[in-house]
């Protein structure tokens, strides 16, 4: 289990306090994460990754994940407070991921967060994990969330959302089968690469020829904003037994190119059709170097602004949970203590 501090220097700021301290907790899947924020500034962000533990199973085992969250959550809260030079009594508000995610994982951080808020007599904010990914590109900007087309691409979700400000979201489309990250992980597994496969494919692809294998681009021409990735994975499955020699990098590059092609084309189509000038991308897959490059090129060609989530904020982290809580705390009068964790929480 690797403990790491997941912040970029630009976001991490240890200056004077300028607002109530928000302590945020994220345990929706297999990363235990805690962050401390002061207004818009990030004071600390700590992540305890379970990747190595789940690697031997080729995916996340819910029971194992929740037990690890249980043992990690309290030390991580202390670590986040220490790094931010804070005492527990300075916390002004507690936030935790309410959903969606694995229920047994969510319950650990959500219950811990509630308990801490009750003990301190402070407000509690339950945060939607997808909303946190969606707004993460705005973290650290001078302006807040504004009208934009948001592409959220992670292991569990692939969504295109029209954002009109905090809490103003219209889902334009989503995946009809696998999420983009799930497709990366499954194809990596077919290629004999370790879990999670996205970063592995990203690292291998530059050594391969992205045009060597002509893989399908399902639904790329459909008139809606939905996605489908399972057909690409199936095409790879049927292709592999026919190949000989050193083909892994070429398959990785060709697969990545197909997925990136679909994501970029659909996102640009949404921005053009709805006449939106700002495009954002977030979630674990938005860390992908080819996706970042192609999105940059496409935005420049069409004269759109592009905001990509900071790499440290792409995969699951608590800083993005705290950021949503800060955005919402301005309008919050009560507390979310009466709300339960919800593994299927929709982006309202």
The phi and psi torsions of 152 (rounded to 5 degrees) equal -110, 115
Given 24, 315, 327, 329, the residue binding ligand KG4 (CB under 6 A): 315
Binders of ligand KG4 among 99-158, rule CB under 6 A?
154-156
- Integer Cα distance of 166 and 135 in angstroms: 8
Instruction: Give 140 or 156: the residue with its C-beta nearer to ligand KG4.
Output: 156
Cα(56)–Cα(21) distance, integer angstroms? 38
Closest distance to ligand KG4 from the beta carbon of 199 (Å): 4
Q: Binders of ligand KG4 among 46-105, rule CB under 6 A?
A: none
Q: Which of 275, 182, 277, 172 is nearest to 232 (CA)?
A: 182
User: How far apart are alpha carbons 21 and 180 in whole angstroms?
Assistant: 35
Least Cβ distance, residue 224 to Zn ion (angstroms):
24
Quick one: which of 153, 151, 256, 157 has its CA closest to 202? 256
Give CA–CA dist 47/32, Å, rounded: 6
Q: How far is the CB of 182 from ligand KG4 (least distance, A)?
A: 6
Specify whether the CB–CB gap between 135 and 281 falls below 8 A. no
Q: How far is the CB of 205 from Zn ion (least distance, A)?
A: 22
Q: Which is nearer to ligand KG4, 21 or 306 (CB)?
A: 306
Q: What is the rounded CA–CA span in Å between residue 304 and residue 330?
A: 30
287 binds ligand KG4 (CB under 6 A): yes
Question: Using CB under 6 A, which residues numbered 175 to 214 contact ligand KG4?
Answer: 181, 184-185, 196-199, 202
Which of ligand KG4, Zn ion, none has residue 285 at its interface (CB below 5 to 8 Å by kind)?
ligand KG4
In the complex, the residues that contact ligand KG4 under the rule CB under 6 A are 29, 154-156, 181, 184-185, 196-199, 202, 283-285, 287-288, 315-316
């Amino acid at each position: 289990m690797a403990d790491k501090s997941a912040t970029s220097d630009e976001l991490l700021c240890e200056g004077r306090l300028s607002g109530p301290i928000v302590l945020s907790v994220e345990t929706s899947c297999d990363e235990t994460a805690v962050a401390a924020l002061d207004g818009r500034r990030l004071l600390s962000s700590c992540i305890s990754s379970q990747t190595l533990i789940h690697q031997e199973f080729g995916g996340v085992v819910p029971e194992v994940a929740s037990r690890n969250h249980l043992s990690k959550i309290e030390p991580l809260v202390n670590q986040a407070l220490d790094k931010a030079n804070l005492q527990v009594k300075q916390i002004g508000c507690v936030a935790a991921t309410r959903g969606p995610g694995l229920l047994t994982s969510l319950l650990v951080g959500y219950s811990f967060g509630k308990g801490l808020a009750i003990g301190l007599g402070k407000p509690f904010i339950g945060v939607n994990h997808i909303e946190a990914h969606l707004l993460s590109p705005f973290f650290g900007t001078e302006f807040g969330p504004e009208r934009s087309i948001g592409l959220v691409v992670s292991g569990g979700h692939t969504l295109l959302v029209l954002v009109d400000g905090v809490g103003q979201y219209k889902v334009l489309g989503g995946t009809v089968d696998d999420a983009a990250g799930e497709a990366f992980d499954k194809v990596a597994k077919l290629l004999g690469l370790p879990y999670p496969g996205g970063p592995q494919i990203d690292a291998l692809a530059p050594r391969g020829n992205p045009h060597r294998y002509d893989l399908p681009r399902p639904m790329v021409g459909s008139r809606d904003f939905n996605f489908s990735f399972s057909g690409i994975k199936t095409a790879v499955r049927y292709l592999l037994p026919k190949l000989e020699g050193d083909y892994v990098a070429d398959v990785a590059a060709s697969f990545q190119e197909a997925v990136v092609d679909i994501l970029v084309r659909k996102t640009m189509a949404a921005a053009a059709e709805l006449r939106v000038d700002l495009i954002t991308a977030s979630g674990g897959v938005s860390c992908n170097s080819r996706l970042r490059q192609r999105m940059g090129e496409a935005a420049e060609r069409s004269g759109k602004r592009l905001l990509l989530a900071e790499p440290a904020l792409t995969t699951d982290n608590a800083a993005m949970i705290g950021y949503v809580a800060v955005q919402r705390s301005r309008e919050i009068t009560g507390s979310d203590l009466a709300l339960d964790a919800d593994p299927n929480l929709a982006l309202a």
